[in-house]
Amino acid sequence: MKIVVLAAGTSTERDVSVSTSRNVCASLRRNGHKANMIDAFFGTDRYTDTDAFFEDDSDLDALSRQMLAKTKDVPAELKRREAAREGFFGPFVIDVCRAADIVFIGLHGANGEDGKVQGAFDLLGIRYTGTDSLSSAISMNKDYTKKILVAAGVRMPEGITLHRDEDREKVLESFPVPCVVKPACGGSSVGVSIVKEREALGAALDAAFALEDTVLIEEFVSGQEFSTGVLAGKAMPVVQIEAAAGGYNYENKYKAGGAVETCPAPVDEETTKKLQKAAEDACRAAGVTPIGRVDEILGENGEVYCLEINTLPGMTETSLVPKEAKAMGMSYDDLTEKMIELSLDKYRK
């Protein structure tokens, strides 16, 4: 098949997306597909026609370096396009996506994982991997996620939503600490703070509001962190996460040795089933299919708390879903092929 791997984008997770996309594209080539990756935002001027794009066995490492080098140019280009009333997609992007049998969405974060790209592709008749635009939008916004999941009986940490134009004083004075402050739509733990002293709450809010206009403040649930992938509605093996100093933040997620991730998780069968059921229930409530990953905490009270749903799980060397697939006897290449197969099934019904 002819497959576009849509990479990079404009979010704070752009660089992680490049790593995901490089790995996925290499895997799809090993599986025999005519796959190539393209920067969703900057596009390309290398090709005169779409056939040349799919026939090009491009150097993925070199292409990745080029995309990473462009990251610094994103803010200025966003401002320019906004002033010129230009769109998100770069040159040649829509052309190759229309010509593809399917687009593997390797984007992470805003303008990729929030349903906007999926909605545009739906209107253009472009087939893509992952869940649909509505479930993407719900899952990307932690405020909406909580409203949907809690109503469906999925346990989540208690908390409030605060908008930029709202008065913070009552929150600063009375919200219980320790607590967790996080942007409503961020990913990879960017902008997330664990506040242990009230004096630090204001700075944590400032850090989150520097990224977005809506912020969640939640109770701090003390316990062990886990993550559970859900493939075709069924939970994968559970991962136990033990982060280095600083918690499971952006740096520890993506640097070697930043966290110890054990899969299958060294917990008893009853606990495993509780974690898996919570993940399945969360994805079902939000409509996430064919694949998602749910971050969870097993509280000291023995209850499972869902933290968020990732609709486009990372596929880097340190990502969790490939670890879970391996634990169930599925290689990385088997996983990417399964994701293509399940995604195409959506269009055959």
Q: What is the pLDDT of residues 99-143, one digit of tens each?
A: 999 999 999 988 999 999 999 999 999 999 999 999 999 999 999
Query: What's the average model confidence in pLDDT over 253-257?
Result: 50
pLDDT, mean over the chain:
93
Query: What's the average model confidence in pLDDT over 154-159?
Result: 96
CA-based nearest residue to 93, from 10, 187, 208:
10
For residue 269, the tally of other CB atoms under 10 A from its CB is: 7
In the chain, the percentage of residues whose pLDDT exceeds 70 is: 94
- Do residues 179 and 219 touch, judged by C-beta distance below 8 A? yes
The pTM (predicted TM-score) of the whole model is 0.90
- Residues for the chain: how many in total? 349
pLDDT at 254: 43
pLDDT at 248: 40
Cα–Cα distance measured from residue 224 to residue 240, given in angstroms and rounded to the nearest whole number: 8
- Do residues 212 and 219 touch, judged by C-beta distance below 8 A? no
Q: Label the pairing between strands 34-39 and 2-7.
A: parallel
Q: What is the pLDDT of residues 35-91, one digit of tens each?
A: 999 999 999 999 999 999 999 999 999 999 999 999 999 999 999 999 999 999 999
Q: What is the pLDDT of residues 8-19, one digit of tens each?
A: 999 989 999 999
pLDDT at 252: 45
Q: Which residues lie closer than 8 Å to 213 by C-beta, 6 or more apart?
A: 163, 164
Structure-model confidence comparison of residues 170 and 273, the more confident one: 273
DSSP symbol at 200: G
Structure-model confidence comparison of residues 189 and 187, the more confident one: 189
Please state which of the ranges 6-10, 31-35, 184-188, 300-304 shows the lowest mean pLDDT. 184-188
pLDDT at 250: 44
